[in-house]
Chain A
Amino acid sequence: DIQMTQSPSSLSASVGDRVTITCRASQGISNDLAWYQQRPGKVPKLLIYGASTLQSGVPTRFSGSGSGTDFTLTISSLQPEDVATYYCQKYNRVPPFTFGPGTKVDIK
């Protein structure tokens, strides 16, 4: 099975900072990667799919890039409402549809 890793596991940044989270697949997964945001006590929310396509309604400060095994989620200007845990997920027609372990983002 393909394993998904994320780094860092947590980070603390100031409002307005640029934040980058990395997700790595143990084997190539083309662009079959999604990113989710889970605010404390809330349900996960889709941010990005196809590695770089912004889900409708998601603020444009969020962006995704990468292909194959290495992917990034970038928040161009961190806002207080972005405090959350962010997960990547391999999602295609080949199970399992593994999530990364998550990256917790806090405000400094």
Chain B
Amino acid sequence: EVQLVESGGGLVKPGGSLRLSCAASGFAFSLYNMNWVRQAPGKGLEWISYISSSNNIIYYADSVKGRFTLSRDNAKNSLFLQMDSLRAEDTAVYYCAREAHNFGYLKIDSWGQGTLVTVSS
């Protein structure tokens, strides 16, 4: 069974930093591209970052570019999101999400339970 378990969320002051982790199990993590998606309280889904399976392609949404850094450790089946210069508008549940593909089409087929990040003084 595919499992994605996020951790590292919490309360942080504006301008502070936080490092989220996502532990993957139940599949060959090193073969899959991964994403982070967030959801502010009562709001919709926002894609924020993508990393290829081999770590050589990384994308960011404009809203986090220059402040967030995505990385992965395939030996430890883990995904990391380093979040710096945090703002109130970064307050959200952060989901780790797996990309899969079928028939040439891409999709996010598995999601973690999410970890809540609250940025407040």
CA distance A99 to B102 in the complex (A): 20
> How many A residues face the partner with a CB closer than 8 A?
28
Chain B proximity of A97: nearest CB distance (Å): 4
Output the least CB separation between B41 and chain A (Å). 12
**Which one of A14-22, A28-36, A76-84 is at the interface?**
A28-36
Q: Is A89 engaged at the interface, CB distance under 8 Å to the other chain?
A: yes
* Interchain CB contact under 8 A, B106 and A91: yes
CB <8 Å contact, A99 and B47: yes
- Binding site secondary structure of chain A: loop
Distance of A74 Cα from B103 Cα, bound (Å) = 22
Q: Which residues of chain A from 48 to 78 have any CB-CB distance to chain B below 8 Å in the complex?
A: 49-50, 53, 55
B44 smallest CB distance to A (angstroms): 4
Contact (Cβ within 8 A) A102 B45 = yes
Query: What is the minimal beta-carbon distance from A73 to any residue of chain B, in angstroms?
Result: 14
B interface, CB within 8 angstroms of A: 35, 37, 44-47, 50, 59-62, 95, 99, 102-109, 111-114
A-B pairs with lowest CB-CB distance, top 9: A50-B105, A49-B107, A95-B59, A97-B47, A99-B45, A102-B44, A43-B111, A91-B106, A34-B107
